[in-house]
Structure formats: structure tokens, C-alpha cells
Amino acid sequence: MRNIPVAALIGLFFTCLYFLMAIFAGLIAPYGMAEVVGDVWEPPSDQFLLGTDSIGRDLLTRLIYGGQTTIFIATMATILSFTTGSILGFFAAVSGGWIDQVLSRFVDLIMSIPSLIFALVVLSVMPTTMTILILLMGLLDSTRVYRLARAVAVDITVMDYVEAARLRGEKIGWIIFREILPNALSPLVAEMGLRFIFMVLFISTLSFLGLGVQPPLADWGGIVKENKEGINYGIAAALYPAFAIATLCISINLVADWILNRTTSLKGGRG
């Protein structure tokens, strides 16, 4: 931590700031999430630090609660995608044969359909709840994680220490979690940062299109959608959540790059 680069330090600061604001949103937000407290699109003032939105709600409050919703959904979906994709990818690489072929071809089939189109079709016929959004986003994105995990695991399974574990009669679970996973952490950690960024952009896109987080709940993509007409009148209400999305994504990327460099330099493959 003493030698942390400036870029990573900046990224870590903003990442922690956004996550702390999401965790303590109920304590730091000045008003209720859906509370109408002023006129439409009031300018920034002492009472409303960022002004009000398209129906008179405090924009700062909406941004804080929107960050809570966006970060929660993105985090849960990322955890689901990595848990599912990594385990299935490692399992396919260790098992080989028809199991590997069936899983890989199924993943190829899902990946052949653009994720956004797939999500829009599913959400058009299903209730749009947080649980559905997390499951849909996590399972769709697990296909990308599967491809990475399988590719990394295929290279690791030919190592001598994996062969030795097979000869000792170790179970597949032991080989996956004790032999392959520790040596696959570096690329997975870097990919996790990228996948989290994708989840933030994905849920923001869905909300902007009207099939993501539903009112009165707030999320950053929905706030952009609610206030986009204000740009025509020189009102910056829609730019604040866009700026929050951009800074969070850049910060996560800086932190992920630093972690990748640290794990690569501190740890080599087992022999």
C-alpha cells in the first residue's frame, strides 16, 4: 500500500466514496427518495445543492439513492456471474470430453444473442423486479466469465501439480478450488472489475430504456431518462448521474489494473 500509484489511489478513493454513500444512503440523503420538495428543475441552491429534478425532487437525494440501487444490483449480478461462470468453466476444463463440449456449445449459443436484446425480450414478458434484474444480468454475463475461466483452467490442468493431484485420487472439487482457482485469480480479478463496469452500464441502459429499475426507486440510468429533456433548456440535471456512472467505471478500472499488477508480481504459478 505504500507504493500504490497515484492513479490507483484516486480510483480507490472514488470507489470507496461511492460504496460508502451507497451503504449509508439513508443517513446522508437530505430528503426522502421520492419526496417532492420544490419546483421543477430548480437551480442549485443552499437548500438543494444540485437543484431539483423533472418533478421537483431533490436531485442530490436521488443521486445518492440511485447510486445505492445501481451499485447493489451491479455487485450482486457480478458475484452471481463470477460464481456461476468460474465454477462451470473450471468444471468443464477439468472434466473434458462430452461435458466440456455440451457446456461450451450451450455458452456459445447464449453468447450468439446480443445481451441487451436478450434482456429486453425477457424483461418485456417478465416482471421487472430487482431479483429478476440480478438473475438475468448475472446469468447472461456468466457466459463471458465461463469462457475466460475455462481458457485459463485448460492451461492450468496440464501442469504437473494438477496431474499429481489427479494421481493422488483427489476429487474434482479439490482440484478446482485448491489447485486451479489460486493460480487463476489474477486474470479473474482483472475481469471482475471489467464485469462490474459492464453491469453498471447494463443496468443503467436498461433503466434508460424503461425496462430496468422502476419508479419510484431511483437509479442513475433512470435519473438520466427522467431529466433528459432538461438538456434542451440548458439544465444539467441529466449530466450529474452520467458523470457519476463515468467516474465510478473509471475508478473501478484503475483499482482493477492495480490489483492485477500486484497479484501478478507477488504470485507466480505453483510448482
> pLDDT digit string (tens) for 116-142?
899 999 988 888 889 999 999 999 999
Residue 232 has pLDDT above 50, yes or no: yes
Does residue 69 sit within a domain? Answer: yes
Does residue 249 sit within a domain? Answer: yes
Q: Which residue has the cell 484516486?
A: 10
Does residue 1 sit within a domain? Answer: no
At 202, which CATH number?
Answer: 1.10.3720.10
Does residue 208 sit within a domain? Answer: yes
Asked if 183 contacts 269 with a C-beta cutoff of 8 angstroms, the reply is yes
Structural domain count, the chain: 1
Does residue 162 sit within a domain? Answer: yes
Identify the pLDDT of residue 99. 87
pLDDT in tens, 15-26: 999 999 999 998
b or e along 24-40 (b: 16 or more beta carbons within 10 Å of the residue's beta carbon)? ebeeebebebeeeebee
User: Using 50, 70 and 90 to split pLDDT, how confident is the model at 157?
Assistant: confident
Does residue 240 sit within a domain? Answer: yes
Identify the pLDDT of residue 2. 67
Identify the pLDDT of residue 178. 78
- Residue range 38-46: mean pLDDT, rounded: 87
Does residue 271 sit within a domain? Answer: no
**170 or 44, greater pLDDT:** 44
Domain hosting 37: range is: 6-266
Identify the pLDDT of residue 263. 64
User: Coil, strand or helix: which one is 54?
Assistant: coil
User: Using 50, 70 and 90 to split pLDDT, how confident is the model at 268?
Assistant: very low
Q: Which residue has the cell 489494473?
A: 257
Query: What value does the mean pLDDT of the chain take?
Result: 86
